[in-house]
Amino acid sequence: MKPQNLTWWNARVSLLYAVGIWTMFGTYAYYQTYVWPRKKDEPQNTNVGDEQVSSIGRGLCVLLGISVEDTPRDMEYMVRKILNIRLFEDENGRAWSRSVMDRELEVLCISQFTLQCYLKGNKPDFHSAMPAELAQPFYTSMLEQMRSAYRAELIKDGQFGAYMQVHIQNDGPVTIELESPTGPMDSKQLAKQEKQQQRKEKTRPKPPSESGREKAAARQRVDPSASSGAEGDVSSEREP
């Protein structure tokens, strides 16, 4: 980035580029979705070059990562969750009480394949992402479902496959990860996780066996002052 662009960056906008690095859920193939609730009226928008292609006021900004394993069931689940998750306050100011539909707010949905990233060493790998020629109709179908389930004029989108600048005003900040539970496991990542678990088990110190405990108890009966050597007991001192 050139210095003059850096100054413009600091003075004007916050450009958020999210790359999911998953640990707990990294072994599953699923929809990965980031949801940002926007509680104030500053706009969130997407630009392609100098052209603004979409913008919303108060509402949700959704970054959507579509997996190669995703199905229509995953799509239906995510539509329900995005529209019904309670991230906004109610009329009395009580937090986490109203959904975007309850408050009749807007949704900006942006496709982002980098959420389907896992690492090979230090290099990101995106083979878990659905190919663009399949992901585009999938993404379009999801937008149609959201518009059908809610109000079409309140569902906005970016430009699929374009290099965009996404300007997000994130209150809190509050960032929610949603996942679809219906997707199958990624066999490669599952095998990798199993190998890591096996290595951990090999290096983990083994607890005392039952026979070891019995021997320690026998020594304790013979000499009560001796340490049992099990369960971290500390030997007692003899009274004079």
**Quick one: 153 exposed, middle or buried, by C-beta within 10 A (0-12, 13-18, 19+)?**
exposed
Q: Which residues have C-beta within 8 Å of that of residue 112, sequence separation ≥ 6?
A: 18, 63, 64, 65
Q: Give the type of residue at 23.
A: T
Q: Give the type of residue at 171.
A: D
* Distance separating alpha carbons of residues 146 and 193, to the nearest angstrom: 35
* Distance separating alpha carbons of residues 7 and 226, to the nearest angstrom: 71
Q: Is 114 a catalytic residue?
A: yes
Ramachandran angles phi, psi of 162, nearest 5°? -85, 155
Question: How far from 140 is each of 85, 94, 100, 179, CA to CA, in Å?
Answer: 21, 35, 20, 19
Q: Which is catalytic among the residues 23, 27, 33, 114?
A: 114
Cis bond upstream, residue 240 (ω within 30): no
* Distance separating alpha carbons of residues 53 and 156, to the nearest angstrom: 10
Residues marked as catalytic? 114
